[in-house]
């Protein structure tokens, strides 16, 4: 009986060793940086060449030990590819490649990353775009934080620079129109440029300026002597308008005439603010 028991133990141990050996055969010998990538990462911040943008839905990047990189949007698999990491020259970071033979020195595009604790930052640059995406490590795909993608607005905005959602357009005799959050996003940048972005379903109406980039400059600032409201006149590519802050919103008016359009915006507040 004792001999049979020992044989069973030896067989079980041999099976465990064999399984471990098979696992080792499948091990792609990831580098230290590649092993640090393995896991689930949820997008919590996104910055493009203009400013920080709201996160568009629940986005999760999954790196697996077999070098599989998977991207999920709202729980749906969007793409899968392979990944490799190589040290950046002269920088404390790593390039993220999707082929072992990739070489960004021969391309206008590059992708690099840094990991700081439970935070992963991926930088992408190309001819006309520079972006920075910040991820937070999560236990699994099913445990993504839904609050990350919720729109939050500043209670009492006082500065023009930032990201704004158009909530309502007033056309006087032409009536008014309201817009869902995120349909029309306007970026007022610190370098006195404006970027207007429309969702595809809104492009036909063009309630504000056409989508694209503009420059602006401040003309004058006045204070109402009765209620203290500050009115600032700016020039947007040759068109003058006035903006002011009231009731947790910014009103931007292209003229005091009855047929001049007026717009009402809410300023986005991000999770790290």
> How far is it, in rounded angstroms, from Cα 18 to Cα 55?
45
> How far is it, in rounded angstroms, from Cα 270 to Cα 46?
10
Q: One fold for both 32-149 and 162-267?
A: yes
Tokens representing 230 are 């500050």
CATH architecture, domain 162-267: Beta Barrel (2.40)
Instruction: Name the least confident of 20-29, 62-71, 178-187.
Output: 20-29
CATH 3.30.70 fits 32-149, yes or no: no
Q: pTM here?
A: 0.61
Q: How confident is the model at residue 271 (pLDDT cuts 50, 70, 90)?
A: low
Q: How confident is the model at residue 53 (pLDDT cuts 50, 70, 90)?
A: confident
CB 179 within 8 A of CB 197: no
pLDDT exceeds 50 at position 253: yes
> How far is it, in rounded angstroms, from Cα 63 to Cα 40?
7
pLDDT at 127: 74
With CA atoms as reference, report the closest residue to 273 among 161, 195, 121, 114. Answer: 161
Which residues make Cβ contacts (< 8 Å) with residue 169, sequence separation at least 6?
176, 177, 179, 207, 208, 261, 262, 263, 264
Share of the chain above pLDDT 70, in %: 83
Domain residue spans of the chain: 32-149, 162-267
pLDDT exceeds 60 at position 2: no
Mean pLDDT taken over the chain: 83
CB 193 within 8 A of CB 214: yes
pLDDT at 12: 41
With CA atoms as reference, report the closest residue to 83 among 113, 119, 52, 59. Answer: 113
What Cα–Cα distance (Å) separates residue 222 from each residue in 122, 204, 231, 235? 43, 36, 5, 15
pLDDT exceeds 70 at position 181: yes
- The pLDDT tens digits of the residues spanning 25-42 come to 345 589 999 999 999 999
pLDDT exceeds 90 at position 205: no
């Amino acid at each position: 009986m004792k001999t049979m028991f020992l044989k069973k133990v030896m067989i079980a141990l041999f099976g465990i060793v064999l399984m471990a050996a098979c696992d080792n055969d499948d091990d792609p010998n990831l580098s230290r940086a590649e092993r640090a990538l393995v896991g689930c990462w949820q997008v919590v911040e996104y910055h493009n060449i203009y400013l920080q943008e709201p996160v568009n839905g629940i986005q999760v990047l999954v790196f697996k030990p077999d070098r599989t990189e998977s991207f999920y949007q709202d729980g749906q698999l969007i793409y899968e590819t392979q990944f490799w990491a190589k040290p950046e020259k002269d920088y404390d970071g790593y390039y993220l490649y999707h082929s072992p033979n990739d070489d960004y020195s021969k391309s206008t595009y590059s992708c690099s990353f840094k990991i700081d604790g439970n935070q992963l930052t991926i930088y992408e640059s190309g001819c006309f775009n520079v972006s920075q995406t910040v991820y937070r490590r999560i236990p699994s795909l099913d445990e993504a934080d839904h609050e990350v993608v919720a729109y939050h607005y500043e209670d009492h905005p006082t500065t023009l620079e930032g990201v704004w959602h158009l909530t309502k357009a007033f056309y006087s005799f032409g009536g008014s129109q309201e817009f869902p959050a995120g349909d029309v996003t306007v970026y007022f940048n610190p370098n006195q440029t404006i970027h207007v972005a429309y969702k595809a379903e809104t492009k036909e109406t063009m309630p504000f300026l056409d989508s694209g980039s503009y420059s602006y400059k401040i003309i004058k600032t006045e204070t109402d002597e009765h209620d203290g409201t500050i009115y600032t006149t700016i020039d947007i590519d040759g068109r003058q308008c006035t903006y002011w802050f009231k009731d947790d919103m910014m009103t931007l008016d292209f003229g005091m005439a009855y047929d001049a359009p007026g717009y009402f915006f809410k300023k986005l507040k991000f999770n790290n603010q």
